Chains A and B, each alone.
Chain A
Amino acid sequence: MANVKELKQIATRIKRDIIQISSANTGHPGGAIGAAEIIAELYFSRMRHDPKNPDWEDRDRFVLSNGHTCLALYSAMARTGYFSSEELATFRKINSRLQGHPSRHDLPGLETASGPLGQGLSVANGMALAQKLRKSNANIYCLVGDGELQEGQVWEAMMTSAHHKLDNLALIINWNNIQIDGHVKDVMNIEPIDAKFKSFGWNVISIDGHNLEEIKSAFDQFENNVGSPTVVIAKTVLGNGVSYMENEAIWHGKAPSEDEAQKALDEIGESNFENDLIFN
């Protein structure tokens, strides 16, 4: 269980990984960087999981629904020991286990494929139902993008989570207000999202998605909540900590050049948690 100070260093490491890998291999850096603190808390502190025994039945599970932000997940998986951090260099390359959008093939610890948006919560519901059926106290965490909430299947799944009283499930919304074609409110407004979730029977918690104390507190509240699913609406900044990326839609799916990557690494700063990746 890492404390807030350690988690800050870990989140910095994840951000550095994202910049380095996307710069060398293409990918979607913006949303992934914005999710770094949430992923750090989940993989390094909150979730009960064992990289040496990835199929452990009573593990907590993480479902990444917006699969394009998988760089943050791959970094966390590598840095917690599911695979070597050197393997991150294969991301999006041919014959790699680290697909552009996540695949379960030969990748223990990766809970579900994702990429086509709107599907993760349904899969997470199935996992949560399974844990209830097994009488396990394992929890399911599912991360979605805010633009992703435009997919109708999410709303089907929201009903299912509440109808089946899945209090072992936490949905986290990476709320950066950016999607490919612009600001979410301009492309297709989904506000007021907290009221919508409340009316669907969810336990709603709103936080600053970069503030590790608030993230920890939200998950504490989730763990103590009984009888309803929890949604953590995490306000984040796309490309948080990289001045030229912040809140710019283009950095949803664009990889930084070598110079841009260096500038980003300078701004993100050093991490005292493990070493930088070395690319040839």
Chain B
Amino acid sequence: MGKAGREGFGQALLELGSENEKVVALCADLAESVKVHYFAEKYPEKYFQIGIAEQDMIGTAAGLALSDFVPFATTYAVFAAQRANEQIRLAVCYNQANVKIATSHAGLTCGEDGATHQALEDIASMRAMPEMTVLVPADADEAYEATKASAEYDGPVYLRLGRVPVPALTKGVGNFEIGKARKMREGKDATIIACGIMVERALLASEILAVQGIEVTVINMHTIKPIDEEAIIQEARKTGCIVTAEEHSIIGGLGGAVAEVLAENHPVPQLRVGTKDTFGESGPPEELLEKYGLTSEKIVEVTKQAMSKKNNVNV
């Protein structure tokens, strides 16, 4: 088993401590959970514990950014994107403040803590904000690269990190670049566009489909905003049907972003794998993913449905 996205983040942030003198970090009482503790232990003077006060943490991070530092504000996805939503809007985005909001425990794989802690709407709310860049890395290596790229990029970034380990998938798959999708597999029959932990599941689905004689492209859409429109349009032209897969509500996240691009540029059948209009619940991550339809088997099934819609259109 590989590492969790949050581990890649923690390692990259630790390195940034010596590579970039402007990088500082803040946390709201979840230092070890979000893996900011490596940085905190090595650079205590550049680490600010704010306590259980996420709204204050975001504002404080904005003040540091407006004073030319590059702050990484860390907590769980639900407490940043949702608890501190308006602080992110005003103090970070409207101010064009160079704040990086790094959140872990996003999605169902937050697990036993239950629906209260499982952010399934955070991509939608962050994506809607002007100035915001939204990154959802697929594995620890990509989280590492996304963290480094965020520090280089000048502007607000929402970095969504997973809690559970994911096998290494992205090492050697070209360079990581914000806004540039990564093609993980090439096929002509359908295209699966995934982000976060669902990239692994999309690749597993592609193997199952290949055995059945169906060749699909798998796109790792690590940047939800600005989304790689060119890659989406190209795939729509090539395979003629799209499946999106995300550990997030099907409303407003990756699926929504892809649908917007398709509708305005090259409409083709699209189906969305993700949580429906619902909250999650307590349970082991794997069982939750199974119950809410975020599995490779589900992606296989939905991909075939999308292909049949394509055929119907052609008739």
Interface residues on A, range: 20 to 34
Determine the chain A residues whose CB is within 8 A of the CB of B58 once the complex forms.
122
Please tell me if A160 contacts chain B, counting CB pairs below 8 Å. Answer: yes
Please tell me if B293 contacts chain A, counting CB pairs below 8 Å. Answer: no
Segment at the B interface, from A112-120, A205-213, A264-272: A112-120
Whether the pair A133, B69 counts as a contact (CB closer than 8 A) is yes
With A156-B55, A156-B56, A164-B48 as known contacts, state yes or no: A115 contacts B63, CB within 8 Å.
no
Please tell me if A201 contacts chain B, counting CB pairs below 8 Å. Answer: no
Interface string of B44-68 (1 = CB under 8 A from A): 0110101101011111111111111
Please tell me if B263 contacts chain A, counting CB pairs below 8 Å. Answer: no
B55 (CB) vs chain A CBs: closest residue: A153
Whether the pair B61, A126 counts as a contact (CB closer than 8 A) is yes
Determine the chain B residues whose CB is within 8 A of the CB of A164 once the complex forms.
48
Docked Cα-Cα span, A125 to B50, in Å, equals: 11
Per DSSP, chain A at the interface is: helix
Chain B residues 1-17 with CB under 8 Å of chain A are: none
Please tell me if B94 contacts chain A, counting CB pairs below 8 Å. Answer: yes
Determine the chain A residues whose CB is within 8 A of the CB of B45 once the complex forms.
133
Please tell me if B96 contacts chain A, counting CB pairs below 8 Å. Answer: yes
- The smallest beta-carbon distance between A111 and chain B, in angstroms, is 7
B59 (CB) vs chain A CBs: closest residue: A122
Whether the pair A113, B56 counts as a contact (CB closer than 8 A) is no
Determine the chain A residues whose CB is within 8 A of the CB of B55 once the complex forms.
119, 122, 152-153, 156
Determine the chain A residues whose CB is within 8 A of the CB of B94 once the complex forms.
103-104, 113
Docked Cα-Cα span, A105 to B95, in Å, equals: 8
Chain A residues 134-180 with CB under 8 Å of chain B are: 134, 152-153, 156-157, 159-160, 163-164
Determine the chain B residues whose CB is within 8 A of the CB of A105 once the complex forms.
96
User: Among the interface residues A113, A114, A127, which one has the most CB atoms of the partner chain B within 10 A?
Assistant: A113
Whether the pair A119, B46 counts as a contact (CB closer than 8 A) is no
Chain B residues 148-162 with CB under 8 Å of chain A are: none
User: Among the interface residues B66, B69, B96, which one has the most CB atoms of the partner chain A within 10 A?
Assistant: B66
Determine the chain A residues whose CB is within 8 A of the CB of B66 once the complex forms.
111-112, 123, 126-127
Whether the pair A127, B64 counts as a contact (CB closer than 8 A) is yes
User: Among the interface residues B45, B53, B60, B61, which one has the most CB atoms of the partner chain A within 10 A?
Assistant: B60
Chain A residues 82-140 with CB under 8 Å of chain B are: 103-105, 111-116, 119, 121-131, 133-134
* A126: contacting residue among B59, B86, B90, CB under 8 A: B59
Determine the chain B residues whose CB is within 8 A of the CB of A159 once the complex forms.
51, 53, 56
With A113-B90, A116-B86, A119-B91 as known contacts, state yes or no: A130 contacts B56, CB within 8 Å.
no
Whether the pair A57, B95 counts as a contact (CB closer than 8 A) is no
Chain B residues 73-112 with CB under 8 Å of chain A are: 86-87, 90-91, 94-96
- The smallest beta-carbon distance between B14 and chain A, in angstroms, is 18
Whether the pair A119, B61 counts as a contact (CB closer than 8 A) is no
Whether the pair B68, A57 counts as a contact (CB closer than 8 A) is yes
With A133-B24, A156-B55, A160-B50 as known contacts, state yes or no: A112 contacts B60, CB within 8 Å.
no
B45 (CB) vs chain A CBs: closest residue: A133
Whether the pair B68, A113 counts as a contact (CB closer than 8 A) is no
Determine the chain B residues whose CB is within 8 A of the CB of A152 once the complex forms.
55
- The smallest beta-carbon distance between B296 and chain A, in angstroms, is 43
A130 (CB) vs chain B CBs: closest residue: B67
Docked Cα-Cα span, A125 to B51, in Å, equals: 14
Determine the chain A residues whose CB is within 8 A of the CB of B64 once the complex forms.
126-127, 129-130
Whether the pair B60, A126 counts as a contact (CB closer than 8 A) is yes
With A123-B60, A126-B65 as known contacts, state yes or no: A156 contacts B91, CB within 8 Å.
no
- The smallest beta-carbon distance between A52 and chain B, in angstroms, is 19
B48 (CB) vs chain A CBs: closest residue: A129
Determine the chain B residues whose CB is within 8 A of the CB of A119 once the complex forms.
55, 59, 87, 90-91
Whether the pair A130, B63 counts as a contact (CB closer than 8 A) is yes
Docked Cα-Cα span, A116 to B58, in Å, equals: 14
A126 (CB) vs chain B CBs: closest residue: B63
* A160: contacting residue among B24, B53, B65, B87, CB under 8 A: B53
* B95: contacting residue among A113, A131, A157, CB under 8 A: A113
Determine the chain B residues whose CB is within 8 A of the CB of A116 once the complex forms.
86, 90
With A116-B86, A119-B90, A133-B69 as known contacts, state yes or no: A128 contacts B63, CB within 8 Å.
yes
Determine the chain B residues whose CB is within 8 A of the CB of A123 once the complex forms.
59-60, 62-63, 66, 91
With A116-B90, A129-B48, A133-B69 as known contacts, state yes or no: A124 contacts B63, CB within 8 Å.
yes
- The smallest beta-carbon distance between B92 and chain A, in angstroms, is 10
Whether the pair B91, A113 counts as a contact (CB closer than 8 A) is yes
Whether the pair B60, A160 counts as a contact (CB closer than 8 A) is yes
Which residues of A approach B to under 8 Å, CB–CB?
Answer: 57, 103-105, 111-116, 119, 121-131, 133-134, 152-153, 156-157, 159-160, 163-164
Q: 3 tightest CB-CB pairs across the interface, nearest first?
A: A126-B63, A122-B59, A130-B67
A sample of 25 inter-chain contacts (CB < 8 A) reads A104-B94, A112-B62, A112-B91, A115-B90, A119-B90, A122-B57, A122-B59, A122-B60, A122-B62, A123-B91, A125-B56, A125-B59, A126-B60, A126-B62, A126-B64, A130-B63, A130-B68, A133-B46, A133-B69, A153-B53, A153-B87, A156-B50, A157-B60, A159-B53, A160-B50
Which residues of B approach A to under 8 Å, CB–CB?
Answer: 24, 45-46, 48, 50-51, 53, 55-69, 71, 86-87, 90-91, 94-96
Known: A113-B94, A133-B45, A134-B67. 8 other contacts (CB 8 A): A104-B95, A122-B55, A122-B62, A123-B60, A123-B66, A124-B63, A129-B64, A157-B60
